Amino acid sequence: MMNKIKPELFWVVDYYPDSGISKGEYYEQITREVEYAEKLGYRGVWIAEHHFIDYGIVPSAPIYLTYLASRTSRIRLGPAVSTIVFRNPIQAAEEYSLLDTLSKGRLNLAVGSGYLKHEFTGFNVPPEAKREIFDEALDIIIKLMRGEKITVNGKYFKYENIGINVLPMQKPHPPIWIAVLRAEAAYHVGKKGFNLIMIPYATVDKIDDIMPVVNSFREGLKESKTEEKELSLSFHTHVASSFHDAVETSKEYLHRYVFSRLYAKRRTLDELYGSGLLLFGSPEDVANQIYKIYKLAKPSRIMFLVDYGMKPYDMVIDVLTKIREKVAKHLEEKGILLEFAD
């Protein structure tokens, strides 16, 4: 029996003023990349939401995702993640319900509690309260999306007999992923019966270190007695004719990305190449790396982060095509199907 992984794509939308193109032009470049990805059969698109600086230039994921929905017809769309501790949960429920309706039921909703210090400072939210705020907000969002009228007398939110006037097309609500960094949090995600999303690069030093998080998630799922939920893992990816060629053609962009990343442990590119946290090399190399990851963690989805450091459009398209046409073939020989849409 063939094991299956859904291939998806993730954009941080990191921007560099010295790139020579405007932010508007870069949004349009990514939109064209998404259109091409849909033609190739990628299953989903995830867009990061960040605030205040150019590390990520989509401060409102629902607006950009709605634009992407208007330019596509079948690829699924989602924020990675909507940082709901910075938002009014009623408005989050309204905006994502509207997006699900306008996209004809294509929303995947990933939510998180945030980790960037300057965002908590900018929104005047105390980081030590983020878990409590997140739990209250998510409960409100889910109930509203289900069509419930709610009265809330929480520590952070208080509402009286509130319901929203547009409900999502997917019932009872769009599928929900929760982003985590720690094993303890992953256990609670599983116990509550949610899907889990994780970017190993941001969490661990080497690929084997994700297993305490993954195992905790699955332990929580066992206690929840719910059906098996999805595990989505994201990896920076570059496919070329050889590992050497992949390193040489992408290092300018990877270096730019790595050293723009805030608060992260500084790692040399050589450390990253040996960490197992990047999918780099020839199509066969990348297939071997995915095979190892699957044997280790058995993710149901892999999110390829191909456009980082503002790679040129043609380079991104080349990598997307190589994954579809070459990496997938090597994986199939190993008994793993990258499950592209027909």
The answer to whether 187 and 219 have CB atoms below 8 angstroms apart is yes
Supply the pLDDT for residue 109: 98
Residue 203 has pLDDT above 80, yes or no: yes
Helix (H) or strand (E) segment spanning residue 79: strand 76-79
Do you find a cis peptide bond into 172, omega within 30 degrees of 0? yes
Tokens representing residue 79 in the block: 């924020």
Domain extent listing, the chain:
3-338
Q: Return d(Cα 77, Cα 101) in angstroms, integer.
A: 12
Best CA proximity match to 168, nearest among 243, 242, 93:
93
Other C-beta atoms closer than 10 Å to the C-beta of 124 total 7
Residue 238, pLDDT score: 98
Q: What local confidence, expressed as pLDDT, does residue 75 receive?
A: 98
SS3 106: coil
The reported pLDDT for the residue numbered 241 is: 97
Q: Which of 62-71, 213-222, 260-269 has the lowest mean pLDDT?
A: 260-269
> Are the beta carbons of 214 and 297 closer than 8 angstroms?
yes
Extract the tokens encoding 87.
Answer: 């938002």
Q: What is the pTM of this model?
A: 0.96
Lowest-confidence pick of 66-80, 248-262, 278-292, 297-311: 248-262
Record: fold of 3-338: TIM Barrel (3.20.20)
Which token pair is 23?
Answer: 């932010």
| 242/91 Cα distance (integer angstroms) | 48
Confidence category of residue 264, pLDDT binned at 50, 70, 90: low
Peptide bond into 306 cis (omega under 30): no
List all residues 6 or more positions away from 314 whose beta carbon is below 8 Å from its beta carbon: none
The answer to whether the CB of 181 falls within 8 A of the CB of 116 is no
pLDDT level of residue 262 (50, 70, 90 thresholds): low
CB 302 within 8 Å of CB 8: yes
If pLDDT is split at 50, 70 and 90, which confidence band does 259 have? confident
Query: DSSP letter at 327?
Result: I
| pLDDT for position 260 | 73
Provide the token pair at 54.
């150019």
H helix or E strand, kind and range, residue 233: strand 231-239
- pLDDT at residue 183, rounded to an integer: 85
| 99-148 pLDDT tens trace | 999 999 999 999 999 999 999 999 999 999 999 999 999 999 999 999 99
- The CA-atom distances, in angstroms, between 202 and each of 41, 233, 266, 310 are 27, 11, 11, 19
Q: ∠ CA 166-170-176 to the nearest 5 degrees?
A: 100
Range with the poorest average pLDDT among 78-82, 175-179, 203-207, 265-269? 265-269
| Beta-bridge partner residues of 198 | 233
The CA-atom distances, in angstroms, between 152 and each of 91, 158, 173, 199, 263 are: 15, 5, 20, 33, 36
SS3 130: helix
